[in-house]
Structure 1
């Protein structure tokens, strides 16, 4: 392995001959697909050539190290295939998701508008005027106060009380 780490082609040929069969056998037991097994085996042997310098004899035999590389690579391939299958399954589910239903959306919006109108009718006249001017006509609190000829603090109080009653009537959480 030390010679392979230094780029010795002849040493790599010997290591290749010694580990190729066991690597292919291990990978095939994990993947079960002969074509994928051969591909992963080739990836492992290329990785062996590029990373031979990482081998540490004190941690185990070269065969154990290579088989560990092979097992990890095979498991990665299985996980990748499972993830791809899951992505395809989710995409298929999304494709079956019903399209945007414009009629339903219009009905729901109309019902919401009706509920808001009903709740607005439940406000006092002063609250309804303040809310309508501020939120439906876009006036500032100061402009509402000037238009209704009341102090700014009164407008703020009417708006706060009106919005609280609207919130309660619409069933919106605090």
Structure 2
């Protein structure tokens, strides 16, 4: 069955849309001009019904017609009429645009939420920090006086072992032993696994 090609509202006596698509597939520009005239209105109507936005509808219609020029060889008359194939291309393209716009909107919404969410919860961090400091203070109190002094000078004041030994007036080896023993006791008290 031949589909009459309507140009300017008047049925054409020339080739039907299926034949024109075959000619377009072979690169016939005149045939494409006739296809364009025949399908542009229905494509625009379908796309506009899906998108509702006139500017986007025009864009998508142009994309469909370009796709039609490029893919005319894919039309298979055994699977349906030429107009049905063209309108299927148009519907798919319009739906893709809607999905793309929705995905973009969703990404922007997620990005906006991330911008408003602080990188960390300051209250929780402060509480954890205080609890850790209190636990360290408690564990420091379990050390001997020489261990506590050695650890405090070396790790909280940043002194070298030699400087700690001079300040406490004890041999360097004693300081190293007290630091090692003190750190082992701190590790055990704090529950740190090695």
Both structures adopt the same fold (TM-score exceeding 0.5):
yes
- 1:114 match: 133
TM-score, normalised via structure 2 length = 0.60
Alignment RMSD (CA, Å): 4.0
Instruction: Provide, for residues 80-100 of structure 1, a one-character-per-residue CA deviation record: whole Å limited to 9, x for no partner.
Output: 111222222233333433577
- 1:148 match: 177
The count of residues paired between Structure 1 and Structure 2 equals 156
Q: 1:10, CA displacement in angstroms?
A: 1.2
SS for the counterpart of 1:25 is helix
Give unpaired runs (5+ residues) of structure 1. 138-143, 150-154, 169-174
- 2:191 match: 167
Q: Work out which of the residue numbers 74, 78, 81 in structure 2 matches 1:58.
A: 78
Q: How does 1:88-99 map to 2 (within 5 A)?
A: 88-98=108-118
Name whichever structure is richer in helix by fraction. Answer: 1
Give unpaired runs (5+ residues) of structure 2. 1-20, 159-172
Change (3 A) 1:60 1:109: same
- 2:60 match: 40
